[in-house]
Amino acid sequence: MPAKLSVNVNKYALVRNSRGHDAPNLLHAADLCLAAGAHGITVHPRADQRHVRFADVPSIAAHLRARHPGVELNVECEDAPAILELVCEVRPAQCTLVPVTPGEVTSDHGYRAGDVPRLVPTVRRLKQHGIRVSLFVDCEPAEVRALAASGADRVELYTGPYAQAFGTAAQAAATEALVASAAAAAEVGLGVNAGHDLDRHNLYGIRDVVGLCEVSIGHAHICRALEVGTATSVHELLTALGHEAPAA
């Protein structure tokens, strides 16, 4: 079974925020992505609310439950009290915890073994609310194994380095690190997600990774959607994952 596709709608929110109105509407954007065959929706509320705002999260969650029952919402966020309180109130299917460096442009590193002690109570709290927990991690097998002690259900492999290496002499080594990290996750009972800079081209290189459950894609999707439209962009990603895209 090919990995599922969760579309990150943060960049739709970024465009909306630039005008201060409600266009594009995030609920409509989610509808379009799901109608095109996406399996889930991802949001990443940040403390500065430069993309998805805190108020968007419950609205999207309620919309998915009412209009798209069974579709999973994945909330990516840092381990911060106010954001975690919001996540526990909304109770998405999955929360992906991501370490954040103040001022960063985008996520650029994963959790490591030294983070486990402080992650344990957060993971426990989220799971008590019925939320599946995934931890963002670099493609380093030893670090992947170490995160199992947190009690998380999955890891999300940080694919930025793989994407940067794609099409270069470094591609084979980056792919090998990703495959080895997925195998390490399986060894310790962790499910595997993947995300960051994945697109319709480099997905072909990882779609057969054993145990890959889900990929989340936002930036590459919106860039391609500007050229060919939302539906076609989603269809291309599904095809790259090995799904048969819905008929147009």
Active-site entry in 44, 221, 235, 243: 44
Tell me, yes or no, whether 95 lies in a domain: yes
Tell me, yes or no, whether 224 lies in a domain: yes
Of 205, 224, 219, the C-alpha closest to 107 is 219
* Domain harbouring 222, CATH code: 3.20.20.70
Tell me, yes or no, whether 73 lies in a domain: yes
Q: What is the full DSSP assignment across 16-57? A: HHHHTS--S-HHHHHHHHHHTT--EEEE---TT-SSS-TTHH
Q: What is the pLDDT of residue 101?
A: 78
* Dihedral sign (CA 12, 17, 22, 26): positive
Q: What is the pLDDT of residue 244?
A: 83
Tell me, yes or no, whether 83 lies in a domain: yes
Q: Which two tokens stand for residue 168?
A: 């270069």
Active site residue 109: no
Give the residue numbers spanning the domain of 130.
4-241
Active site residue 72: no
> What is the separation, in whole angstroms, between the first and last Cα of the chain?
22
Active-site entry in 63, 196, 221, 235: 196
Q: What is the pLDDT of residue 248?
A: 56
Q: What is the pLDDT of residue 24?
A: 96
The neighbouring-strand residues paired with 118 are none
Contact 173, 194 (CB under 8 A): no
Active site residue 68: no
Q: What is the pLDDT of residue 23?
A: 94
Tell me, yes or no, whether 248 lies in a domain: no
Tell me, yes or no, whether 139 lies in a domain: yes
Active-site entry in 76, 156, 214, 236: 76
Q: What is the pLDDT of residue 100?
A: 87
Q: What is the pLDDT of residue 150?
A: 98
Report the chain (248 residues): mean pLDDT per 10 consecutive residues: 96 94 96 97 94 97 98 97 97 96 71 97 98 98 98 98 97 98 98 97 96 97 97 97 77
Q: What is the pLDDT of residue 93?
A: 98
| Domain count along the chain | 1
Q: What is the pLDDT of residue 105?
A: 61
Tell me, yes or no, whether 247 lies in a domain: no
Tell me, yes or no, whether 246 lies in a domain: no
